[in-house]
Structure 1
Amino acid sequence: MNGKKILFVSSELVPYLPENPVSLMSYETPRMVNSNGGQIRIFMPRFGNINERRHQLHEVIRLSGMNLVINDMDMPLIIKVASIPRERIQVYFIDNEEYFKRKATFTDEEGTLFPDNDERAIFFAKGVVETVKKLNWSPDIIHVHGWMASLLPLYLRKYYADEPIFQDSKIVTSVYGQGFDGTLDTGMMDKVLFDGVDKEAVAPLSEPSYNNLLKVAVDFSDAVILASENLPEELSSHIAGLEKPVLDYVPVQGFEEAYGKFYTEEVLN
């Protein structure tokens, strides 16, 4: 991994949010690349339940200030950064008052999905791409973790298809068994179509379930990592039908060699 540039885009990340399979691997994988001589950038949403004072988040004025259009609305993009103690790893946070100020991640106190989670996912995908463009940092690999990051492959390959900074980037999506029940807003597909993405590309989003979001993610990825031992059968079957590299599940205790080899021998070749 020496000298390779890898962009990690995740819904969740320890130590900023509680540990679960997504947040743990979103930390361990960049830590592995960093310790093996790779260059990394990590992006996640700045959820309102992240303690900014304790984790020493601060706004980066030169990266903030632009508006992103979400379903014909101008939404201001705010970028904050923090460093993970001991690891010397910097994390970029995508923020917006309306989408991320609430003191929760994906659901309210009753466990009901927030009605604007679809718009939050679109905003997150666009915010990551626009910020990486401002950084003028061209990644060799873009590794996606978690369903709120799942629109990134689609937007990179369709909405940002002509961006030269990503022309040679390979996209890897880690697929987890942990998702959500029900669906996001049923108007999600129309909001993506508003951005000029062709209808055929986002057909699964007519029913924006967890499985269908991840189907779209893997369809526009160059490689897939099975990050959970047990995946929904519908998702497993879809991935099995893809003609692209797939890394079978590897426990966190022994993932480093397998992921490193997959990056270098399957993704970058």
Structure 2
Amino acid sequence: MDINKVLYISQEISPYLPETPMAELSQKLPQGIQEKGIEVRTFMPKYGCIKERRNQLHEVIRLSGLNITIDDADHPLIIKVATLQPTRMQVYFIDNEDFFLRGQTAKDLEINLMPDDNDERIMFYVRGVVETVKKLRWDPNLVHCSGWVSALAPIYLKRIYADDPSFKNAKIVYSIFDDKFEGTLYPRFLEKLKMEGLTDEDLSSIAAAPVDATALNKLAIDYSDAVIQASPEIDLELLEYIKASGKPFMPYPGNTDYTDRYAEFYHSL
């Protein structure tokens, strides 16, 4: 497959959040792929701890203003953008006061200490990314999702947006990290997903019990075309699940000089 446009849906990107292996990879990989002449678009949530003035974020008026309905409540979508130097790669931020609170000191305050909101937060984030890409009129032929905050993207793209011209030919890659949330998502999570247009059959793999991080990652694997191990060690249950799926799989490629390996994996799909 000839890959020339890659959409990155990331949980966190350096330097906008404290540097972690996930944040560093989500910065360096898109930049490296862009330097190979491939067009990229990169998205992350606008967590409340991200300082707009310091990071030179500004709102993109033409992309903002859409209301996204979740569980019969409307939530306005605000799109902001910043430019990473020296490659001048643009990073788009999905923002909303209901889900990404102002003045928070850490991302963890939102996704770990307010777990009751995580179901709608990740639904809003993925919907926001997809709707923004459609507004950009930019059709990726590969979508790379990183981190559990992006875990709904594969099922949304394969089911809800399956016939959308922007995504119907795109391959979906999901990266598994050793990062997870504690506990389970809100008990009405499946009900809310069905209101989005997903069916009992679509959600059968997570219907039996409350959805924890492992179940959410398995759902992402189910609807992805390929999977990457992005941490040196990941949950053994997930590793076995990936292998049993028979899907193209890239083991951990190391933490340096990995751009070529990712590019080769993309093109192999």
State the match for 2:240 in structure 1.
237
Q: 1:96 to 1:247 in 2, by over 3 A?
A: same
CA distance in 1, matches of 2:202, 2:231: 26
1:3/1:39 contact within 8 Å kept? no
CA distance in 1, matches of 2:114, 2:184: 8
TM-score, normalised via structure 1 length: 0.94
1:12/1:22 contact within 8 Å kept? yes
- Matched to 1:178, the amino acid is D
Equivalence map 1:119-134=2 (5 Å): 119-134=120-135
State the match for 2:35 in structure 1.
35
Give percent identity, aligned residues only: 44
Deviation at 1:80, TM superposition (A): 0.5
Equivalence map 1:114-193=2 (5 Å): 114-193=115-194
Q: Which runs of 4+ in 1 moved over 4 A?
A: none
Give the secondary structure class of the aligned counterpart of 1:253: coil
State the match for 2:261 in structure 1.
258
Name which of structure 1's ranges 180-189 and 198-207 shifts more when overlaid on structure 2: 198-207
Q: 1:182 to 1:61 in 2, by over 3 A?
A: same
- Matched to 1:213, the amino acid is L
Give the secondary structure class of the aligned counterpart of 2:259: helix
Deviation at 1:92, TM superposition (A): 0.5
- Matched to 2:140, the amino acid is P
CA distance in 2, matches of 1:160, 1:187: 22
2:9/2:150 contact within 8 Å kept? yes
Name which of structure 1's ranges 48-57 and 237-246 shifts more when overlaid on structure 2: 237-246
State the match for 2:98 in structure 1.
98
Deviation at 1:254, TM superposition (A): 3.1
Q: 1:98 to 1:114 in 2, by over 3 A?
A: same
Post-superposition CA distance 1:127-181 (Å, at most 9, x none): 0000000000000110000111110111111111121111111100000111122
TM-score, normalised via structure 2 length: 0.94
1:68/1:127 contact within 8 Å kept? yes
CA distance in 1, matches of 2:66, 2:6: 25
- Matched to 2:237, the amino acid is E
Give the secondary structure class of the aligned counterpart of 2:44: strand
CA distance in 1, matches of 2:233, 2:52: 35
2:2/2:267 contact within 8 Å kept? no
2:229/2:252 contact within 8 Å kept? yes
CA distance in 1, matches of 2:34, 2:140: 14
2:3/2:266 contact within 8 Å kept? no
Cα root mean square deviation, aligned: 1.8
Q: 1:132 to 1:114 in 2, by over 3 A?
A: same
1:47/1:105 contact within 8 Å kept? yes
Deviation at 1:248, TM superposition (A): 0.7
1:56/1:82 contact within 8 Å kept? yes
- Select 1:209's aligned residue among 205, 212, 215: 212
Q: 1:2 to 1:162 in 2, by over 3 A?
A: closer
Q: 1:131 to 1:108 in 2, by over 3 A?
A: closer
1:2/1:38 contact within 8 Å kept? no
Deviation at 1:255, TM superposition (A): 1.4
CA distance in 1, matches of 2:254, 2:114: 29
2:176/2:227 contact within 8 Å kept? yes
1:14/1:27 contact within 8 Å kept? yes
CA distance in 2, matches of 1:94, 1:148: 12
CA distance in 2, matches of 1:132, 1:140: 12
2:161/2:168 contact within 8 Å kept? no
1:2/1:36 contact within 8 Å kept? no
Say if 2:267 is the partner of 1:247: no
State the match for 2:10 in structure 1.
10
CA distance in 1, matches of 2:121, 2:184: 14
- Matched to 2:128, the amino acid is G
Equivalence map 1:39-58=2 (5 Å): 39-58=39-58
Name which of structure 1's ranges 197-206 and 50-59 shifts more when overlaid on structure 2: 197-206
